[in-house]
Amino acid sequence: MLYLMDTANIEEIKKGFEFYPLSGVTTNPTLITKEKKGFKEILKDIRNIIGENSMLHVQAVGRTAEQIEKEALYLQEVVGENFYIKIPVTPDGIKAIKKLTQKGVKITATAIFNAQQALMAAEAGAEFTAPYINRLDNICGDGVKVVEEIISLYKLNGLNTKVLAASFKNAEQVHKVALCGVHSVTLNYEILEKLLYHPLTDISVDKFIEDWEKFYGSGKLTTDVK
């Protein structure tokens, strides 16, 4: 499973890529505007941190297929390698996905809330589809079930499109989509940290060090100890 960070915050991205096995970054207009910096400056800063081998997913804001296509081609020049344009699954969005796929632009279909939206986006050429887990749960939907249905439909139709699950409130939601075979997830830094946290892990580490220091003192494995 691929892990990505869902943020435009430079400091979070630096920490995330220092500690965790991340494959890229996803952004959206809301995350970008929170940083209160120039749009191109933010994208270039992110690229400098994550390198050319990591994915960078950036969302279009145009409403028509023509506007989306123009933005995608512009952003591809700005971002460079491993760029994915995020396109909402509106009728104009699907039209744009079809046209951009023919031009070799990589697509992440976003704002997905049911399996048929994801199937149509995949058939149009999207390489990733991003269902929103917690937003579905918040309206008495079932985000995990939608992911299961999307994965099933892709297998039935022989599609190679990957599911990039997004919009998580807690680590349990991430765990559940992982169990159903999701290909990738995008997470904020707080939830990324929570995936590793367990109080018994901290207690175990403290106990190991306590026992070591009782016998060897504060000496480390890389120094001479008695």
Q: How far apart are the C-alpha atoms of 3 and 6, rounded to whole Å?
A: 10
User: Which member of 34, 44, 70, 86 is catalytic?
Assistant: 86
Contact 12, 72 (CB under 8 A): no
Q: Buried b / exposed e across 35-69, counting CB within 10 Å, b at 16+?
A: beeeeeebbebbbebbeeebbbbbbbebeebeebb
Rg (CA), the chain: 21
The answer to whether the beta carbons of residues 118 and 163 sit under 8 Å apart is yes
Is 86 an annotated catalytic residue?
Answer: yes
Sign of CA dihedral 6, 52, 10, 31: negative
> Which residues are identified as catalytic?
86
